[in-house]
Amino acid sequence: MSSDVHAERNRRMRPEVLGRLAGAFYLLAVVAAVVEEFWLPGRAGIAGFVIPIACYATVMLLLNGLLATRSGMPRVLAVVSGLAGLAIEPLRWHPLGVNVAMVLHGAYALQMGFLLARTMTVPMFAGGAMMTAGVVWLGYLSVPFARAVSPWNTAVGLIGESMPMLWLLVMGAKGARRSEQMGVVQ
């Protein structure tokens, strides 16, 4: 099935459905990652990193579909940086100790939080929380800083990133239709 067919299908899906699906897949990604990291460290095999990565890639693509008619190039840049981070994650590529996947994820979260808030897909506080998470993940550019603030950076990042996803899961993306009606495009 071509990407044009997928894009057309996403345009026809209600924003509430896309938002709730994104929230549900985000929850699945976090639960799978926590299980692999803390309850079954090293024992989950390939599924231990494939399941969370696949779920989060699905979140990114659903958000891409949700924002497709309103965000243009900034949306594409956000999704590309996020997917690049997910592709690098299994490689554990850390040149000079820098977790490149987390830095790319930070760029994604900062941009996507901004887009979600600007298009009124989620409330401003939820978009701002995701932008805060993005700044926290970008803190991985400085290895000494990231180590000094650990585990607080992880807690703030997860909470910040979870806010818009939980909003989407529970409330859906009702603002998406409102922003289209108001003419909020780029």
Total of domains in the chain: 1
Q: Residue by residue, what is the 3-state secondary structure of 66-100? A: HHCCCCHHHHHHHHHHHHHHHHHHHHCCCHHHCCH
**Residue 120 φ/ψ region, left for φ over 0, alpha for ψ in the -120 to 50 degree band, beta for the rest:** left
Give the confidence band of 142 by pLDDT, cuts at 50, 70, 90: very high
**Domain carrying residue 155:** 3-176
For residue 184, tell me if it sits in a domain.
no
For residue 111, tell me if it sits in a domain.
yes
Q: Which residues contact 47 (CB under 8 A, 6 or more apart)?
A: none
For residue 186, tell me if it sits in a domain.
no
* pLDDT tens digits for range 15-66: 888 889 999 999 999 888 888 878 887 777 778 889 999 999 999 999 998 8
For residue 185, tell me if it sits in a domain.
no
* pLDDT tens digits for range 75-122: 889 999 999 999 998 888 999 999 999 999 999 999 999 999 998 889
Length of the chain: 186
For residue 79, tell me if it sits in a domain.
yes
d(CA 172, CA 17): 7
For residue 44, tell me if it sits in a domain.
yes
In terms of pLDDT, which residue wins out, 7 or 168? Answer: 168
